[in-house]
């Protein structure tokens, strides 16, 4: 088949690209097209082709909250680049492209003497991904500093959503599955650079001391109301439980680690085992925090 995107400028295309190269789990089969999009015009054109050809599509950030199936994704995976990696400041408000890395945002804001987002330090990924899953830590989440977002709907309509419409709750939002977040307006506050840096370093140290360093997607399960998923898993003696090359981390029980050549099916079987044991021993049903793409 001839490449249906060949006439579009402002994109780069990888065909039959392994998604294991684009996820922190380092797991996943191929996608037909992996497209980096550098401008909004190019994004609209890509969406037009997708619609015309009735392709399935998926928007990826840096793949740090994703488990892609071993069969991969039959369709188009879109990654925002170029213009979507820019940040503009207007007083206390930071307009970030959805492809901006959280880490870059923190550094940029700190250099200008703006804080309030330090709780995000050490959370890998893009601002778009953080909004989609309402990323957070230390009792805060990105919802706390979000004013509004701009999205492109599945039908190609561009619109603003204010915080109340986004419907943030614990590690999720009401943003529809195929809507693409293109930019995010965050409100930070003036703060001493020294203070910001101190908090960031403290948070990074906390993570380094407690979190495992292998290939993972961070916490695999959401915390059930009023308790910690990691604690429940640890209490049931499941640290080190293994299926193939997937292992419940010995350091942090809510992390599943790809110890080498783990397959998505190993991770899914291991997660199912953990869920079954927690249900039987604790009467609690764990829910995945990690998004499954198949």
Q: Which residues bind ligand FAD (CB under 6 A)?
A: 24, 58-66, 80, 98, 123-126, 128-130, 132-133, 135-137, 180-181, 216-218, 291
Tokens 């991904």, located at residue: 129
Supply the minimum distance, in Å, between the C-beta of residue 24 and ligand FAD: 4
Residue 235 designated active-site? no
Distance CA 275, CA 237 (A): 13
Residue 46 or 60: the one with the smaller Cβ distance to ligand FAD is 60
Q: What are phi and psi of 43, to 5 degrees?
A: -60, -45
Q: Minimum CB separation from ligand FAD for residue 10, in Å?
A: 17
Distance of CA 24 to the CA centre of its chain: 10
272: phi then psi, degrees, rounded to nearest 5: -65, -40
Query: In the bound complex, which residue of the shown chain has the CB atom lying closest to ligand FAD?
Result: 61
Alpha carbons 244 and 233: distance in angstroms, whole number = 19
**Tally of residues, the chain:** 294
From the candidates 219, 247, 249, 263, give the one annotated as an active-site residue: 219
Which entry of 18, 89, 147, 171 is annotated as an active-site residue? 171
Nearer to ligand FAD, 41 or 281 (CB): 41
Give whichever of 178 and 265 is closer to ligand FAD, judged by the CB atom.
178
Q: How far is the CB of 126 from ligand FAD (least distance, A)?
A: 4
Distance CA 207, CA 60 (A): 24
Question: Is residue 31 within 8 Å of 77, Cβ to Cβ?
Answer: yes
The token pair at 257 is: 């680690």
Q: How far apart are CA 122 and CA 165, in angstroms?
A: 28
Phi, psi of 65, rounded to the nearest 5 degrees: -130, 35
Taking the C-alpha atoms of residue 251 and residue 248, their distance in angstroms, rounded to an integer, is 9
Report the alpha-carbon angle 8-63-266, nearest 5. Answer: 125
Choosing from 17, 118, 247, 289, which is the catalytic residue? 289
For residue 66, the surrounding DSSP H or E stretch is strand 66-68
CB of 35 to ligand FAD, least distance (A): 13
- Nearer to ligand FAD by C-beta: 31 or 64? 64
Please name the residue that has the structure tokens 């680049």.
81
Catalytic annotation present for 289 = yes
Q: Note if 249 is an active site residue.
A: no
Beta carbon of residue 132, minimum distance to ligand FAD (angstroms, whole number) = 4
- 190 versus 251: smaller Cβ distance to ligand FAD: 251
In the bound state with ligand FAD, the residue whose beta carbon lies nearer, of 6 and 40, is: 40
Residue bearing tokens 């939002």: 173
Shortest Å, Cβ 11 to ligand FAD: 15
Cα–Cα–Cα angle for 230, 227, 209, rounded to 5 degrees: 40
Which residues does the annotation mark as catalytic?
A: 171, 219, 289
């Amino acid at each position: 088949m001839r490449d249906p995107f060949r006439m579009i400028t402002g994109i780069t295309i990888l065909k039959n690209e392994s998604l294991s190269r684009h996820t922190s789990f380092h797991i996943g089969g191929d996608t037909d097209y992996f497209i980096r999009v550098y401008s909004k015009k190019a994004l609209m054109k890509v969406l037009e082709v997708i619609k015309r050809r009735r392709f399935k599509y998926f928007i990826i950030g840096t793949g740090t909250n994703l488990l892609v199936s071993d069969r991969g994704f039959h369709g188009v995976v879109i990654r925002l680049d170029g213009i979507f990696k820019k940040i503009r400041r207007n007083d206390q408000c930071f307009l970030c492209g959805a492809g901006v890395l959280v880490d870059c945002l923190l550094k940029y804001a700190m250099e200008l003497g703006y804080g309030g987002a330090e709780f995000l330090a050490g959370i890998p990924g893009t601002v778009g991904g953080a909004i989609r899953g309402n990323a957070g830590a230390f009792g805060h989440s990105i919802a706390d500093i979000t004013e509004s977002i701009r999205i492109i709907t599945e039908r190609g309509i561009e619109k603003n959503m204010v915080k109340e419409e986004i419907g943030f709750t614990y590690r999720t939002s009401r943003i529809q599955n195929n809507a693409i977040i293109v930019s995010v307006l965050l409100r930070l506050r003036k703060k001493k650079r020294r203070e910001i840096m101190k908090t960031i370093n403290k948070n990074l140290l906390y993570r380094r001391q407690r979190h495992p360093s292998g290939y993972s997607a961070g916490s695999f399960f959401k915390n059930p109301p009023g308790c910690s998923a990691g604690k429940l898993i640890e209490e049931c003696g499941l640290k080190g439980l293994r299926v193939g090359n997937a292992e419940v981390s010995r350091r942090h029980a809510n992390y599943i680690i790809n110890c080498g050549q783990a397959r998505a099916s190993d991770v899914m079987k291991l997660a199912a085992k953990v869920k079954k044991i927690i249900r039987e021993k604790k009467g609690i049903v764990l829910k995945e925090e990690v998004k499954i793409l198949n």
